[in-house]
Amino acid sequence: MKIGQNHIQDTNSKDLKIHQEHFDFLGNSLSKKGVDVATIIKKLQDFQVAIPSWALGAGGTRFGRFSFFGEPSSLEQKIEDVGVLHALTQTAGAVSLHIPWDIPQDYNAIKELASSLDIKFDAVNSNTFQDQKNAKESYKYGSLSNTSEAVRQQAIQHNIDVINIGNKLGSKALTVWLADGSCFPGQNNFQTAFQNTQDSLKAIYKSIPDDWKLLIEYKPYEPNFYSTVIQDWGASLMLANECGNKAYTLVDLGHHLPNSNIEQIVSILQLKGKLGGFHFNDSKYGDDDLTVGSIKPYALFLIFNELVYGMENNPQNPDLAWMIDASHNVKDPLEDLIQSLEAIQEAYAKALLVDQALLKAAQLDNDVVKCQEILQDAYRTDVRPLLAKARLEKGGALSPIQAYRSLDVRNSLIQERGKNTVATGL
């Protein structure tokens, strides 16, 4: 399924006039406040978020999984689905692969397909949390941290294989997320597990090309429920520092204990030049992987406020690898991803509206009320016309969800692919 420009223009045509009215009203009031609207639109257009290959089918829980059918069952079809998202939103210009689920058969064909849809290959993800068919060693008791050297070697070699696959596609980062940890006190020696992980990561790091990043993701619990080896940003940062200057911490919004101040974590990592990647989702209780911005939109805005500050003031921090890491149990995955992309752009646009100079002055004056007013003035602005304008200028849909529905994308996919449904494994 490929969405043509003419399809999108058709669906846009009936709403163009009302969009223009909304945009003019917002644009005028922002300009009067001294906001450079054109620059904000350009920044929104440049902000591209990777779609993970495993989020394109229905997720599920250990209790069940309910499909929407027409799900992609090959890497080609996954890339085509990202193409649909990108055509409509103009903000999903990258895909993040998970190996071994997404090993390409024909590299040139895959690269051609992706570039025809204007999609880049973002970070590649290794998988040492499942035993693979015919694998000699088992990850039941951990991978990079395992007490067995043979298991650690197998996991190290897998990561090196993933780097080689990514290299052939043009990826520039390896993301390592480990399930390693323990379920019961006494099961593991914390120091041994951490030291083994550090040594294993350093071995992998030797194969990281010079223009690549090693992104180290942390998570406090699950699938292990007593301890996780890389449980928080501190552990991740220590490991990244041990590896070297191509290694960074990756923040996944769902990987924090309740009430963690994620915006502060993000801010300090940028100050230290060590924030390398970001996984968007939302949660109420744990690593719920819900639609971005569906539960705590103000927290997302505050995080973006720090990200924007960092992007403008911390040249020591590199460009970040942005990715959505959500799972879809009751919504059509593509509709859910469109909602997440919109929420990301919305939070970003609001953060761009924060008057940083005014905020700094209010902070220096210790004018706490004014500081809050400045943030909330930006947060309360309805920026959706800016997002629509940014999309429109690039050939995207004024309302991606409406366009997706009026083009009947899911039914076309079902007709094309049949009622196939593929579990993603996550």
CB 73 → ligand PSV: shortest distance, Å? 19
Restricted to residues 281-320, the positions that interact with Mn ion (CB under 5 A) are 287
**∠ CA(29), CA(30), CA(36), 5° rounding?**
145
Binding mask 239-258 for Mn ion (x = CB under 5 A): -------------x------
Contact between residue 119 and residue 81 where contact means Cβ atoms under 8 Å apart: no
Give bridge partners of residue 95 from the DSSP assignment: 51, 121
Residue 169 or 323 with smaller CB distance to ligand PSV: 323
Token output for 160 = 């090196």
Residue numbers 312-351 binding ligand PSV by CB under 6 A: 325
Residue 410 interacts, among Mn ion, ligand PSV, none and using kind-specific CB cut-offs from 5 to 8 Å, with none
Contact assessment for residue 272 and residue 235, using Cβ atoms and an 8 Å cutoff:
no
Q: Which of 65, 89, 92 shows the shortest CA–CA distance to 79?
A: 92
For Mn ion (CB under 5 A), the number of binding residues is 4
Neighbour tally for 259: CB within 10 Å: 7
CA–CA distance, 174 with 124 (Å, rounded to integer) = 5
Return the residue of 139, 177, 233, 309 that touches ligand PSV, per CB under 6 A: 177
Give the shortest CB-96-to-ligand PSV separation in angstroms. 9
Q: Nearer to ligand PSV by C-beta: 212 or 379?
A: 212
Question: How far is C-alpha 280 from the geometric centre of its chain's CA atoms?
Answer: 5
How far apart, in Å, do the first and last CA atoms of the chain sit? 25
CA-based angle 45:99:128, to the nearest 5?
120
Cα angle at 157 between 155 and 161, to 5 degrees? 115
Binding mask 104-133 for ligand PSV (x = CB under 6 A): ---------------------x--------
Residue 202 Cβ vs ligand PSV, minimum distance, rounded to whole Å:
21
Of these partners, ligand PSV, Mn ion, none, which one is at the site of residue 332 (CB under 5 to 8 Å by kind)? Answer: none
Sequence-separated (6 or more) residues with CB below 8 Å from residue 368: none
- Cβ atoms of 22 and 293 closer than 8 Å: no
Residue 417, binding choice from Mn ion, ligand PSV, none, Cβ under 5 to 8 Å by partner class: none
The partner in contact with residue 263, picked from Mn ion, ligand PSV, none with C-beta cut-offs of 5 to 8 angstroms by kind, is none
Per DSSP, the three-state class of 166 is helix
Q: Whose structure tokens read 């846009």?
A: 12
Q: Which of 78, 219, 274, 417 binds ligand PSV (CB under 6 A)?
A: 219
CA 123 – CA 121 distance, rounded (Å): 7
Binding residues among 269-288 for ligand PSV as defined by CB under 6 A: 279, 287
Distance CA(51)–CA(279), nearest Å, equals 10
Site string for Mn ion, 316-335 (x = CB under 5 A): ---------x----------
The entry of Mn ion, ligand PSV, none near residue 37 (CB within 5 to 8 angstroms by kind) is none
Return d(Cα 283, Cα 300) in angstroms, integer.
11
Q: Among residues 1 and 179, whose Cβ is nearest to ligand PSV?
A: 179
282/287 with CB nearer Mn ion: 287
The first and second tokens of residue 373, run together, are 């007013």
Closer CB to ligand PSV, 25 or 226, in the complex: 226
Shortest Å, Cβ 281 to Mn ion: 7
Task: Say which entry of ligand PSV, Mn ion, none residue 358 contacts (CB below 5 to 8 A, set by partner kind).
Answer: none
Residue 37 CB neighbours (<10 A): 16
For residue 119 the two structure tokens come to 């999609």
Question: Binder to ligand PSV among 71, 122, 252, 263 (CB under 6 A)?
Answer: 252
Among 295, 358, 361, 426, binds ligand PSV (CB under 6 A): 426
Interface contacts to ligand PSV, rule CB under 6 A: 125, 177, 217, 219, 252, 279, 287, 325, 426
List contacts with Mn ion (CB under 5 A).
252, 279, 287, 325
